[in-house]
Amino acid sequence: MTDFYPKSNKPAQILDMNAFDRDKSKISGAVQRRLNNVGASSVLFYREPIEMVSAKGAWMTAADGSQYLDFYNNVPCIGHCHPAVIEAVSQQLSKLNTNTRYIVAIVDEYLEKLKATFPASLSNVVLTCSGSEANDLAMRLACKSTGGTGFIVTECAYHGNTAFVTQVSPSSLKNETLPNHVIAIPAPSVQNYGADIEQGFTNRVQAAIDELSQRGIKVAALLLDSIFSSDGVFSHPNGFLHSAVEVIHRAGGVYIADEVQPGFARTGENFWGFSAHGVVPDIVTMGKPMGNGFPMAGMVTNPHLLDAYCHDVGYFNTFGGNPVAAAAGLAVLNTLESERLQDNARILGDNLKTRLINIAEQSSIIGEIRGSGLFFGIDIQAQGTHSAELTIQVIDRLREQKILAGAAGKQGSTLKLRPPLCLTQSEADFFIEGFRKVALA
Amino acid sequence: MTDFYPKSNKPAQILDMNAFDRDKSKISGAVQRRLNNVGASSVLFYREPIEMVSAKGAWMTAADGSQYLDFYNNVPCIGHCHPAVIEAVSQQLSKLNTNTRYIVAIVDEYLEKLKATFPASLSNVVLTCSGSEANDLAMRLACKSTGGTGFIVTECAYHGNTAFVTQVSPSSLKNETLPNHVIAIPAPSVQNYGADIEQGFTNRVQAAIDELSQRGIKVAALLLDSIFSSDGVFSHPNGFLHSAVEVIHRAGGVYIADEVQPGFARTGENFWGFSAHGVVPDIVTMGKPMGNGFPMAGMVTNPHLLDAYCHDVGYFNTFGGNPVAAAAGLAVLNTLESERLQDNARILGDNLKTRLINIAEQSSIIGEIRGSGLFFGIDIQAQGTHSAELTIQVIDRLREQKILAGAAGKQGSTLKLRPPLCLTQSEADFFIEGFRKVALA
């Protein structure tokens, strides 16, 4: 059972992200200090990492005084250092911070406001500290309620960092392979499935169910990031997940929507990514933007799924659902509303997408533009083929233009862009100007 | 592999903690609201749960105006709503909150101050959001570096809430059993091992290694809460773990010290619980009091253990080690120093223990008094035998005396007491007065 990475079913390719590499990069004093403290667990962006000192709105300021437009981090969804979160956290920290073994009114106020964003069937919430903890619990609920142990994910999925969740996160595996009970299927792209993505993807889900069955394993869940972030961002056509969800239900499995990246209004048209597909998940997990950086995450589900698990195993999370997290979460939900940030994500996102497509038509290195709202995947290509190396160069050149970006996708050749939802028109213009220079250089 | 609770090796008895039970308790409007929101995952203290509205220092204030002396929660170690943490968190939230993919100086400042509290061999830190995440990672390091998969824990151990960690947390299992690769051994008490606890406990560790071996499983780790909190608090004699650690090393396993409960100066004589035993762990995990309630936790280890894991699997924690957590953690370390709270824990703890023993000698329901510093385990007995029901009554009567307490131990018959380390002499007197009334009623 603890043999959690049997040597089989190795993912086709491991992502080589935009990371500092101590064997390839020059090591500054600040980087050496970090390496001394955290050793091999260090994961720094850029071949020459950036020391940051402050941030505000969509901008981050480095130690050398440079200001960068943050087009990468989806955590500060309402903007870095938003006063609403600072005030809410400071006030609640001054009043009461304790665990959910006591009743605290603000916690239930938050839970009710959060639940109101979901379909009515998803009426029980468990708050945790991280999306990893949320997915770890969701997977156990799936196993317990279905009697199955098999999971179907996409081939570059990332769902978190616990032992159990790492098993279903092919993108985390460097010299390891997927265990026998996990099947990773190709991302829902035209390249992989042709024009009828829905039919192709659904067929592949059914084939995975059958393959698990041949291995003697009953499927527990289809676990999908609703916008396939680490696979390279696959958002369209709306509704393509519909029949795959029917298929997993027919097989007795549940559908878990991982909203850690697309959730909380980022996709513009919808508050949650799964809504674009006209489906109701059995379990939804959420995290990163939930507290705008305050460590909090959660899971919502049907009561009967939660009952089945809690009947046999106690679950308690010391920090999960504390009143300070509730205050931060409330501030985020209230600000998304009061600043109309979902509308902003939709309107500015559509505008940016049109301009990006225009640039792509003139550029030899920009391929397909995908995404929804303020979540973009942009393929980078050298002589018409995917290029991870060129993608890293593009990220470095965007950095020279004072724009922060990241990479994703099976070939590591997709730019992943997720600016704060408070992005302004002039900041969007700044990005387009910098991006145009890099794309048309 | 996902069959994470095979039906074997069921723990002798499951804890019946001091919890609200919807089948036995009357349900108020506030409790019903909570149940509607979190369903079966609800874990509330007391048969009639308390609604809290504020807290300061060692005191919590309920919605009905009652003030309770918090003798239970080890999270607010420097006191509820301590101004140093509020100020540090508010300031850093206003300045910068991002992840460890960028260099931020305060993060390394904190890491260095934290490392200085450990033996020099433990030079790499991984910061996480929860003690559960820290233990989940520690267990993987143990497996990877030893090639083993077996774990030895104590029979009422609690090490966290992830799938992997729940496997080694017998106290979480209600209608489940321990998996084959986990052996739970009796806690290090005189009742279990006689006067020579060190020899008895060491023999039992060796027997567990042998039993795993007979099952075809190589041992990965001996994973122990340094003060055996949920087993009922077993602190003495100092040094009794010494030869058990030698035995696990001889078998090729590692020793993981779980300091989530005893760590950060609570035991008075030492900053870390393992120090009382004169041993150096291979991995130390920590959590709850680390940020005085800000969600943060971590793991320290030898670089070679971390290298082995990170060579094969990527590990990144979005919220772990963010600069706001670092600011909170620094405020805690600085306040422990400036307010001399380790000294306070030792001096006030010794004083309280003497007075508790004095009360026990006059009481028919108070048995053994155990613990170190401001961490106490007090056995409750009816007619000389352990009584969970009487323990719950004692906890309810202490509540009437405005004192918050909890239960632990195999029979659920040990009071677990962990007041904030900022406890004053007059607060200690208040506790003794209330406790005396309950003990001698």
Q: Which two tokens stand for residue B376?
A: 């106490």
Among A283, A281, A245, A3, residue whose Cα is nearest residue A140:
A283
Do B349 and B334 lie in a common domain?
no
- Chain A residues with beta carbon closer than 8 angstroms to that of B112: 37
**3-state SS assignment for residue A365:** coil
Contact residues, chain B, for A102 at CB < 8 Å = 44-45, 49-52, 60
Residue B80, strand partner residues? B57
Q: Kindly state the percentage of chain B with pLDDT values over 90.
A: 92
Nearest to A52 among B52, B98, B293 (CB): B98
Cβ contact B164–A288 (<8 Å): no
CB atoms A2 and B103 under 8 Å: no
Cβ-defined contact of A303 to B139 (cutoff 8 Å): no
Distance (Å) from the C-alpha of residue B177 to the closest C-alpha of chain A? Answer: 10
Q: Could you tell me if B155 and B410 are in contact, meaning their C-beta atoms sit under 8 angstroms apart?
A: yes
Mutate to test the interface with A, among B97, B123, B261, B299 (most CBs of A within 10 A): B97
Same-domain status, B183 and B248 = yes
Instruction: List the single residue in B33, B111, B325 with the smallest CB-CB distance to A108.
Output: B33
**Whether residue B351 is found in the same domain as residue B324:** no
CATH of the domain at A251: 3.40.640.10
- Cis amide linkage into residue A237, ω under 30° from 0: yes
**8 Å CB contact of A38 and B95:** no
DSSP state string for B49-106: --BEEEEEBTEEEETTS-EEEE-S-SSSTT-BT-HHHHHHHHHHHHH----TTSB-HH
ipTM over 0.90: yes
Q: Do A97 and B293 touch (CB under 8 A)?
A: yes
Is B131 among the domain residues?
yes
In this complex, how many residue pairs, one in chain A and one in chain B, have their CB atoms less than 8 Å apart? 370
Q: Where are the alpha helices (DSSP H) in B278-340?
A: 303-312, 323-338
Looking at the complex, report in whole angstroms how far the Cα of residue A8 sits from the nearest Cα belonging to chain B. Answer: 13
Count the domains in chain B.
2
Q: Rounded to a whole number, what is the distance in Å from the CA of B213 to chain A's nearest CA?
A: 15
Quote the radius of gyration of chain A (alpha carbons, Å).
21
Question: Which of B161, B171, B175 is best to mutate for the A interface (most A CBs within 10 A)?
Answer: B161
Contact residues on chain B for A152, CB-CB shorter than 8 A: none
Q: Are residues B199 and B267 in the same domain?
A: yes
Task: Quote the minimal CA–CA distance from B345 to chain A in Å.
Answer: 21
Instruction: Give every CB contact of residue A322 below 8 A, 6+ residues apart in sequence.
Output: A97, A98, A99, A100, A107, B293, B295
- Cα–Cα dist A240/A332, whole Å: 30
* A78: in domain: no
| Contact in structure between B51 and B62 (CB atoms under 8 Å) | yes
**B287·A123 Cβ contact <8 A:** no
Of A34, A294, A313, the CB nearest to B174: A313
Residues of A in Cβ contact (< 8 Å) with B36 = 123
Q: Which two tokens stand for residue B24?
A: 């036995």
CB atoms within 10 A of CB A29: 7
| H-helix or E-strand spanning residue B258 | strand B254-258
By CB neighbour count within 10 A (0-12 exposed, 13-18 middle, 19+ buried), where does B43 fall? middle
User: Which of B40, B136, B139 lies at the smallest CB-CB distance from A310?
Assistant: B40
Helix extents (H) in B147-258 = 163-166, 190-193, 197-214, 242-250
- Residues of A in Cβ contact (< 8 Å) with B313: 5, 166, 172-176
Task: Report the alpha-carbon angle A235-A237-A241, nearest 5.
Answer: 80
- B90/A85 touch (CB, cutoff 8 Å), yes or no: no
Q: Could you say which residues of chain B have pLDDT below 50?
A: 1-16
Chain B residue nearest residue A149, CA to CA: B2
Measure A354 CA to nearest chain B CA, in Å: 30
A352-365 residues labelled b (16+ CB within 10 A) or e (exposed): bbebbeebbeebeb
Q: Which of B307, B338, B369 represents a domain boundary (last residue)?
A: B338
Name every chain A residue with its beta carbon within 8 A of the beta carbon of B220: 2
At A9, list the tokens.
């079913």
Domain limit, last residue, from B305, B338, B371: B338
In a domain, A152, yes or no: yes
Domain that holds residue B407: 50-78+342-439
Say yes or no for a CB contact (<8 Å) between B55 and A97. yes
Q: Which helix (H) or strand (E) holds B368?
A: strand B366-372
Are B383 and B390 a contacting pair, CB within 8 Å?
A: no
For A149, the closest of B3, B107, B310 (CB atoms) is: B3
Nearest Cα of chain A lies from the Cα of B302 at a distance, in angstroms, of 9
Is A429 a member of any domain? Answer: no
Residue of A54, A130, A173 lying closest to B313 (CB–CB): A173
For residue A54, give the chain B residue with the closest CA.
Answer: B96
Amino acid at site A304 = H
Q: What pLDDT does residue B10 have?
A: 42
Question: Do residue B311 and residue A89 have CB atoms under 8 angstroms apart?
Answer: no
Residue the block writes with tokens 């300045």: B95
Instruction: Write the CB contacts of B244 (distance below 8 Å, at least 6 apart in sequence).
Output: B198, B201, B202, B205, B222
For testing the chain A interface, which of B53, B102, B113, B217 should be mutated: the one with the most A CBs within 10 Å? B102
**pTM for the predicted model, two decimal places:** 0.96
Cβ <8 Å between A60 and B33 = no
Q: In terms of C-beta density within 10 A (0-12 exposed, 13-18 middle, 19 or more buried), how is residue A278 classed?
A: exposed
Residue among B54, B85, B126 minimizing CB distance to A38: B126
Q: To which residue do tokens 């100066």 refer?
A: B265
Q: Is residue A88 part of a domain?
A: yes
Q: Specify if B2 maps to a domain.
A: no
User: In this structure, what DSSP letter does residue A103 have?
Assistant: B
Q: Is residue B225 part of a domain?
A: yes
Task: Select from B287, B315, B338 the last residue of a domain.
Answer: B338
In a domain, A175, yes or no: yes
Nearest to A322 by CA among B343, B84, B295, B165: B295
Q: Are residues B326 and B380 in the same domain?
A: no
Considering CB atoms only, which of A89, A105, A315 is closest to B161?
A: A315
CATH number at residue B390: 3.90.1150.10
Interchain proximity A52–B287, CB inside 8 Å: no
Instruction: Kindly give the confidence (pLDDT) of every residue in chain A, 441 residues in length, as a single tens digit, with 9 standing for 90 and above.
Output: 233 333 334 443 334 467 778 777 788 999 999 999 999 999 999 989 999 999 999 999 999 999 999 999 999 999 999 999 999 999 999 999 999 999 999 999 999 999 999 999 999 999 999 999 999 999 999 999 999 999 999 999 999 999 999 999 999 998 889 999 999 999 999 999 999 999 999 999 999 999 999 999 999 999 999 999 999 999 999 999 999 999 999 999 999 999 999 999 999 999 999 999 999 999 999 999 999 999 999 999 999 999 999 999 999 999 999 999 999 999 999 999 999 999 999 999 999 999 999 999 999 999 999 999 999 999 999 998 999 999 999 999 999 999 999 999 999 999 999 999 999 999 999 999 999 999 998
Pick from A73, A126, A163: CB nearest B38: A126
Alpha carbon A149 to its chain's center: 24
**What are the φ/ψ torsions at residue A321 (nearest 5 degrees)?**
75, 20
CB count in 10 Å sphere of residue A192: 18
Mark whether B71 and B101 lie in a shared domain.
no
Q: How far apart are CA B397 and CA B428, in angstroms?
A: 17
What pLDDT score does A18 carry?
72
Query: Rounded to a whole number, what is the distance in angstroms from the first to the last CA of chain B?
Result: 53
- Torsional class of B412: left (φ above 0), alpha (ψ -120 to 50), beta (otherwise): left
| Residues B198 and B284 placed together within one structural domain of the fold | yes
Shared domain for B213 and B160, answered yes or no, is yes
If we measure between CA atoms, which residue out of B226, B179, B224, B128 comes closest to residue B10?
Answer: B179
Residue A402 neighbours by CB under 8 Å, 6+ apart = A66, A67, A68, A69, A434
Domain match, B257 and B360 both: no
